[in-house]
Amino acid sequence: MITEEVRLWKLTRRHVRERLEQGLIKGAILPTGSTEQHNEHLAMEHDTASAAHVAYQAALQLYPQTVVATPMAVGISEHWMEFPGTLSLRPETFFTVAYDICESLKRHGIEHILICNGHAGNGPLGNQVEEFSQKLGIDIQFASYWAAYSKELVDELMESKDCPAHAAEFETSFAMAAFPENVQWKGVDYEAANLDIKSESYAPRDPVYFRAGRDYATPKKGRVMADIAIDWVANKMQEMMDG
């Protein structure tokens, strides 16, 4: 009897070996996220947690064909370094880690890898995967999970009509649905926080995002949006495995 666990880091070597020997594993989803500021109320891990959540639920739908590789929990976040707690990798470091994980999976015989991204700053990885695919001779694709949402859908479901934005209505709703312990309104007093944000382009948006998260986010919206992304990622992975 084989466990129904799909998260690679929760499996034993026996589990992985037996599934591979039986030809059961065809694909892997690699979540990429960040550890970075998410306004006053959301945990630093939001992008990693959301990408991992989407990847995990999608892989469960595809069991036993797909596993979730260990999430990359630090991304390209130089633009948030003025906020203490943010961790950032240089782009080349980030690309190298992603490549090495893909290579590891390939060496175990996994030929379809979907990178499920949860942090907009990691977008440049999308320009690298064709080269990764060619070097490794396997099928690697990159998608930010919110690519699942059309503009019409966002207009319909999001009061702010803004998605993904940053720690605003969408991400706050997602967290309320998937990991409510990461939403921490207690003790938040935005006006009193004296933020003095240095980034001129971002400073005017921070209070807008804050209010959108506070006033519009609901767990129900989060559940609907998460489910759409999960189905979309599962479909994409299935298409890759079908070749």
Give the Cβ contact number of residue 91 at 10 Å: 16
Amino acid identity, residue 193? Answer: A
Q: Which residue is nearest to Zn ion (CB)?
A: 47
Binding residues for Zn ion, how many (CB under 5 A)?
A: 2
Shortest Å distance, C-beta 202 to Zn ion: 13
State phi, psi for 101 to the nearest 5 degrees.
Answer: -65, -45
One residue of 8, 26, 40, 47 binding Zn ion per CB under 5 A: 47
Shortest Å distance, C-beta 182 to Zn ion: 11
Which window, 47-55, 70-78, 154-162, 175-183, contacts Zn ion (CB under 5 A)?
47-55
Tell me the helices (H) and strands (E) count for the chain, helix number first: 8, 4
Asked whether the CA dihedral 130, 95, 100, 10 is positive or negative, the reply is: negative
The label of the residue with tokens 């189905």 reads 231
One character per residue 17-46, x = contact with Zn ion (rule: CB under 5 A)? -----------------------------x
Shortest Å distance, C-beta 65 to Zn ion: 29
Shortest Å distance, C-beta 35 to Zn ion: 11
Structure tokens at 141: 């694709």
d(CA 227, CA 225): 5
Compare residues 41 and 112 and give the one whose CB is closer to Zn ion: 41
Site residues for Zn ion per CB under 5 A: 46-47
